[in-house]
Structure 1
C-alpha cells in the first residue's frame, strides 16, 4: 500500500490554530488571579499581580483571536476539532478562559467585565450543545467519560467564581449548583471506570483535571460564606493533590507532551482555593502558590514554544480551516 503524504496546510494566517494552546493559557490566567489574591493576603508590593495579569491577558486575547480567525474561515472546523480529545480539551479550556478574562479586568472595569462573563456563558452553552451533538453523531468511544468532561460540563463553576467576583452572587449560586451536580456525577462515573480499565500513559496527565472542580467548589463556597462546605472541598483538593504527587512518576510516565497543559490550571485553582478558605489553609496556600508558579510557567513556556514553531498543531492533530 502506497504511503499517503499528510495534507498540507493551505496558505493563510492561523488556518491550523491548535486548541491545545488554551489549557496552558487557562493555567496562566488562573495563576495570575491566584497571585492577585496572594498579593492582598500577604501585603506584597501592589501592582505586581496587575502587571502579570496584564501580560497574560494579552496572551490570552491573542490566542482567542487566532482561533476566531480559524473559525471565521470555516465554522465547521470546530466540530472537526471536537472529534479528537486534545481538541475537546483545548476548546473547553478556551471557553473557560473567557470567564477568567472577565475576572482579570473585573476590579478595573466591572461594567465591561460583566458582558464578557455573559458572553462566556452563552458560548459555554453553545459549546456544551456542540459537544453533545458530536457525542451523538460520533463513535461510542467518544462518549466514554474522561476528565475533560469536567472542563465541559463542570466548567460552569468557573463562571460561578467570576460571577461572585463581579457582584452577581445569585447567578453564582445557580451556576454552583449546576456545576456541583455535574461534577459529582463525573467523579462517580470516572471512579467506576477507573476500577475497570487502565489509563494509557499518554493520557494520564489529564487525570489532574479531577482536582480543578474540588478546588473551585471550595473557592466559591468560601465566597458564599459556607465555611464548612469550603473546608470540606479544601480537604478533598488536598487529598487529590497528595495522590497526584505520590503518583507523579506514573502520571507523567510517557514524558513531556502537550497533554501536560492539563496540569496547569488545577494547581493554580488549588492555590486560589486554599488562600480563599484561609485560616489553617493560609500558609499551605502560599506554598502552593509558589509551587504552582514553578510548575505552570515552564510547562506553558514549552507548549508556547511548540506553538511558535508550528509543531503543536501537528502533535495534537488540529483540524485545518
Structure 2
C-alpha cells in the first residue's frame, strides 16, 4: 500500500480550528446554568454561576471567531468536518452552546439573547441539513446511528429550554414534541445496536450523551409545570447516571481523549434538572453539581490545552480550510 503523507496546513491563522473544542464549552455553559439554578433553590450566592457564565460566553465568542475564520476561508470545509464523528459532535455542540449563551444573557440583555436564540436555530438547521446531505452522499457506515445524533437532531430541545423564559411557549412546545419522538427513535435504535454490537473503547464516552435528552426533557417539562412528567425524566436520568457510575471503568477504558467532552454537558444538565425539581431531588442535585464542578473544568482544561498546543486538530482529524 502506498504511503500518503498528511496534508500540510497552509500558512494562515485558524485554518484548522477543531470543532472538538465545543463539547467542553457546552459543558461549561451547563455548569454555569446549574450553579444559577442551584443558587435560586438553595439560597447560594448567585455570583458563582454568573462568573462561570460570563467567562464561558467570552470563551465561546473566541472559539466561534476561530471557527468562523476557518469557515470564511473555505465554506465547504464544514462538509468535511461533518463527515467525521468528532466534527459532527463538535459542530452540534457549537449550536447548542449558542442556545445556552442566549439563556445566560437573557437576564442582562433580552434583545441580544432573543437574537442569539434565533441565530442559533438557523445555524443548527443549516448544520443538520448539511449533515443529512453528507449522510446521503457518504458511505453506508457513516449513516450508523450514534449518540451524537442526540446532539445533532434532538439537541433542538436546548432551544426550547432557552425559549421558555422568553415567553416563546408555542415554539418551545413544538420543539419539545418533535424532539421527544426523535429521541425515542434514537434511543431505541441505539439499544438494539448495543445489544448486537460491542462499542469500541475509544467511542464509549459518547454513550454518556444518552443522558442529555432525559435531563433536558425534564427541564422543559418542569418549565411547562408538568411536574409528574419532569419527575419521570428525573428518574430516567438517575437510572442512566447509576448505570454510568457502575460502568465508569468500562466507559473510560481507552484513557483520556477529546471524546471525554461528552461527559460534561449531560452531567451538568442532570444537576440542573434535579436542583430545579428540589424536594427529594435536592440532595442528588447537590451531589451532581459538586461532581460536575470537579469533573467538567478538568476535562475542559485538558481539551483546551490540547487546542492551545495545536494537538487537538491532529488527534480529532479536523478538516483544513
Other-structure match for 1:37: 37
Determine if the alignment matches structure 1 residue 178 to structure 2 residue 181: no
Other-structure match for 2:51: 51
Other-structure match for 1:16: 16
In the TM superposition, 1:50-199 aligns within 5 A as 50-199=50-199
- Structure 1 residue 165 displacement after superposition: 2.3
Number of aligned residue pairs? 321
Q: Is the alpha carbon distance of 1:165 and 1:6 closer, same or farther for their aligned partners in structure 2, counting shifts above 3 Å? A: same
Aligned 8 A contact 1:18 1:312 in 2: yes
Determine if the alignment matches structure 1 residue 282 to structure 2 residue 282: yes
Deviations 1:192-239 (A, max 9, x none): 111111100000000000000000000110110111100000000000
Deviations 1:39-90 (A, max 9, x none): 1111122323212211111011111111011000000000000110001000
Runs of 4+ in 1 over 4 A off after TM superposition: none
Gaps of 5+ in 1: none
Determine if the alignment matches structure 1 residue 250 to structure 2 residue 247: no
- Structure 1 residue 125 displacement after superposition: 1.1
10-19 or 44-53: bigger deviation: 44-53
Gaps of 5+ in 2: none
Aligned 8 A contact 1:96 1:158 in 2: yes
TM-score by length of 1: 0.98
Secondary structure of the structure 1 residue equivalent to 2:153:
helix
- Tell me the distance in 2 between the aligned counterparts of 1:222 and 1:76: 40
Other-structure match for 1:220: 220
- Structure 1 residue 174 displacement after superposition: 0.8
143-152 or 277-286: bigger deviation: 277-286
Other-structure match for 2:210: 210
Deviations 1:9-41 (A, max 9, x none): 111110000000000000001111111111111
Other-structure match for 2:294: 294
- Tell me the distance in 1 between the aligned counterparts of 2:313 and 2:36: 32
In the TM superposition, 1:255-270 aligns within 5 A as 255-270=255-270
Aligned 8 A contact 2:28 2:297 in 1: yes
C-alpha RMSD of the superposition: 0.9
- Structure 1 residue 2 displacement after superposition: 5.5
Aligned 8 A contact 2:9 2:320 in 1: yes
- Structure 1 residue 5 displacement after superposition: 2.4
TM-score by length of 2: 0.98
